[in-house]
Structure 1
Amino acid sequence: MPQFQVPLGEAIHTFEDLPKSAGIRWAVGDPDGLRSSTWRIWGNKKGDVYAAIRHLGGVTKASFHRDRKCQVGFTTEYMQSPDGGDVEGSRHWVTWKLPEAPMVQAMHIICPDEDLVRFNDEPEEARLMRWLPAPGIGHAKVTTIHIAEPPNDSGWKEATSRGELIGFFECPTRTTWITSISQHLGPNERALVATWRNWGTEVAGAKTDEAGARMLYLGGSPPAETPFMIELRPEIGS
């Protein structure tokens, strides 16, 4: 599976501790213009960390557990709903284990510029939201989840050398922080994104007449590669 390489960039250090119950919420773009869906990452006292996209809230999430076991798939709540009854097999799309290292990149979340759209969303509480500037034509915003275990800040300089620090939170067993950078997409990468967008539109049957319709493509080959989720719009004219 192709892997997006995240290049080094100038760090913009913006430490801000957020309420643990709220987690960290962010979106790419302009709340009144082209934008991504809202993303949220949160944790619990045991050290489990979760990430989800609001547009698919309650349907799917990524889990990074204290024992380093991880998975991406449908939520338990969705599987117990009427729609979840149509799912065959395991609710997990992929499972893996984080490397035994003091600091790891747990996942990349990618939002290409051309997949930003206009849609109405519920107002976000200002103090809980981080609006990231659109990456620019031919670029994608790459947000990375980093986990340090045991809790430490020895790796944050390395992490933030790869972009802006959006936020962080701690529990007794782990430190989790999120960075973001704009990455140029070359012709081959744009072709891959277009292929995934076409495939998702066809397989998922996403409706282009639905304002702000969103799709997720899961890539990477963990644990050899850091997995990534890429947020896409349905192909126009399908």
Structure 2
Amino acid sequence: MSATLIFDCDGVLADTERDGHRVAFNATFEHFGVPLHWSEADYATKLQIAGGKERMASELTPEFVAANNLPTDRDEQAAMIAAWHQDKTARYTRLVADGALPPRPGITRIITAAQDAGWPLAVASTSAEASVRAILTQAVGQRRAEAFDAILAGDVVPAKKPAPDIYLLALERLGADPSRTLVIEDSRNGLLAATGAGLRCVLTVNGYTRTEPNDEAVLVVTSLGDPGGEPALVLANRGAARPDTVIGLTDLLSCLE
């Protein structure tokens, strides 16, 4: 028996937010001479906004625009944000290439096992596609990354998480049965997007998301775990899985029962 697995990227494939995206955003602000620097606490708030361009745009209050002589025209602002985001993405992918953002425990193991078992796999993320492909390649290598059945990223749908659109699109692209599809997410926004699409969801939480409400998740763990490495600690279990310290394919299948 098999299942379709759909992974979020940031916080799931790798712990990318604090020491990856945040660092790249701040470097971009400095490069463009914009007086912004997001602390870890600032960024925790920004994570409630889905999408990098949208996070940047949230700073463009009338007061901030006037104080920094930024364009007031909406089209000009959109072009400016696009340029900032392109620069940020390039900086982020360099961080990934330099090995600064290793895969989270269990990710390489689970993807390898699922592909070897013939399970359909996809990524559904609000991050730029270049960022997603960089993280995925870092985690499993180019051959396995290219073997994914779908990579949906960035602006592929107009309404981003917590809207369910990206997961509905993933189901359509994959031709997947929702009852045999499991999402692996790390945040409440992602959880709501997955369950809004009628899908069951496993949460692998991190420092930014551990205290978020997770009542809709079938299983909540600190990570997928690795033998001889970081163990998976079960925080909530509302399904048939009975995992130990390592989450395996059998555990994921049990989440669909």
TM-score under structure 2 length normalisation: 0.24
- Structure 1 or 2: larger strand share? 1
- Structure 1 or 2: larger helix share? 2
User: Highest Rg: 1 or 2?
Assistant: 2
TM-score under structure 1 length normalisation: 0.25
Larger relative contact order, structure 1 or 2 (CA cutoff 8 Å, min sep 6): 1
